[in-house]
Amino acid sequence: MFSTKDFRGRDFITLLDYTREEIEFILDFSAELKEKFKSGRPHKYLEDKTLFMIFYNSSLRTRNSFEAGMTQMGGHAHFLDPNKIYMPVLEGEEVAYSTERISDVARVLDRMGHGMAIRIYGDPVGWVNGKANRIVREFAHWAERVPIINMECDIYHPCQGMADILTVKEHCGGFKGKKFVMSWAYSPSVHKPLSVPHSAVIAAATVGCDVVLAHPKGLELDDDVIAATRKRAEESGGSFEITNSMEEAFKDADVVYPKAWTSKHFIPPIADAPMMEKTQELFDANKDWICDAAKMKLAKPDAKYMHCLPCDRGFEVTDEVIDGPNSVVFDEAENRLHVQKAIMALTMDV
């Protein structure tokens, strides 16, 4: 067995660093914090503590859930805009008087607060797949005292993954025997990382769901993530399948999670440079990958529609579905607050 002390000081970069038992412990604690929040009971686990948040990308849910969570637990979150400070960069990428090495930034903030959280993907790293994850891990390498929380990189979005499975648990009553479908869906925008589907399938497989990944050919996920998901499914007693048919995937599903992600084949390191026009052609050839009422009828009558938000209405999903009775997207968004409070409280010392 383990206790809250086993989480103290640990980074939260990927769910693969945590066992099923640890993830379920965090889920239980998240539910406890949610109940306390709803009932107005105090839960000042992080009184007088500070979280430094560095946002290379814009955010609504992530920023506000972390800031609100710190406030509700008695602490404070500092929002750091890289464009308003010396931009933290990797060694060798410095530009005089406008950037600062991550090693220096991390060691300074490490001495001033109790945790750091980083959000970076896409344009800030030139769409070089994996570079954002490397930057998050660089912060973790140099921060000796405090944990690093990944608020989304180009490979993982672990906090979203935790919110996803908390929502499944609440609405499906558990995980065993539940068919969880992570499906690609069409969007006019190709500028979407693979982090959400990666963490969603890892999370669902870890807790024992029967996970189905659906996407057109050319939109495969990372090979290492697929291998890790298969391993997690085997260990949990769940299952993991991949199909190139959205309709096949939706049949008898308990949960459907259709969203767009870019093609790894047209960005570095597989491609020499980002080839977004090629990705756009691939996207446009699959406009029929939309979650509408007809596809929802393929799933179970009470199947839940999920999305990390923001969604592209009219492309990824119709208004009828996202605003309909089977949609749990706002419960899912709210759960970001509760799981992140649990993660912060545990890693930043309950």
The three-state secondary structure class of 148 is strand
In the chain, where the domains are located:
4-155+335-347, 160-333
Residues 6+ apart with CB under 8 A from 200: 160, 161, 164, 182, 257
Distances in Å between the Cα of 217 and the Cα atoms of 97, 245, 248, 256 are 45, 10, 15, 19
Q: Locate 192 and state its tokens.
A: 């979407």
Q: Are strands 87-89 and 179-184 parallel, antiparallel or unpaired?
A: unpaired
CB 296 within 8 A of CB 328: no
Annotation: CATH topology of 4-155+335-347: Rossmann fold (3.40.50)
Which of 169, 153, 166, 198 has the alpha carbon at shortest distance from 11? 153
Instruction: Select from 344, 311, 343 the least CA-distant residue to 22.
Output: 343
Report how far apart, in Å, the C-alpha atoms of 60 and of each of 200, 246, 309, 311 are. Answer: 20, 29, 9, 13
Beta strands 87-89 and 99-101 are: parallel
Separation between Cα atoms, residue 261 and residue 212, nearest integer Å: 16
Query: Are 224 and 241 within 8 A, CB to CB?
Result: no
Q: Which pTM does this prediction carry?
A: 0.97
Quick check: helix, strand or coil at residue 212?
A: strand
b/e code 322-337 from CB counts within 10 Å (16+ = b): beeebbbbeebbbbbb
Class of domain 160-333: alpha beta
Instruction: Please report, in tens digits, the pLDDT of each residue of the chain (350 residues total).
Output: 667 888 999 999 999 999 999 999 999 999 999 999 999 999 999 999 999 999 999 999 999 999 999 999 999 999 999 888 999 999 999 999 999 999 999 999 999 999 999 999 999 999 999 999 999 999 999 999 999 999 999 999 999 999 999 999 999 999 999 999 999 999 999 999 999 999 999 999 999 999 999 999 999 999 999 999 999 999 999 999 999 999 999 999 999 999 999 999 999 999 999 999 999 999 999 999 999 999 999 999 999 999 999 999 999 999 999 999 999 999 999 999 999 999 999 999 85
Q: In angstroms, what CA-CA distances link 205 with 28, 178, 258?
A: 18, 11, 17
Residues 6+ apart with CB under 8 A from 104: none
pLDDT of residue 6: 87
The H or E element that residue 161 is part of is helix 158-172
Composition of the chain by helix, strand, coil, percent to 5: 40, 15, 45
For residue 2, the model assigns a pLDDT of: 66
Confirm if 51 and 70 have CB atoms less than 8 A apart. yes
Among positive and negative, which fits the CA dihedral 154, 159, 297, 318? negative
Q: How far is the CA of 101 from the CAs of 39, 73, 148, 257, in angstroms?
A: 44, 31, 17, 38
Place of tokens 């949990």: 236
Is there a common fold for 4-155+335-347 and 160-333? yes
Strand partners, 150: 118
Task: Give the model's pLDDT for residue 350.
Answer: 52
Q: Give Cα 324 to chain centroid, integer Å.
A: 24
- Cα dihedral sign, 348-236-27-154: positive
Strand positions, DSSP E, the chain: 50-55, 76-80, 87-89, 99-101, 115-119, 148-150, 179-184, 210-214, 239-243, 255-259, 304-305
- Determine the pLDDT at residue 1: 64
Pairwise CA distance, residues 120 & 152, whole Å: 6
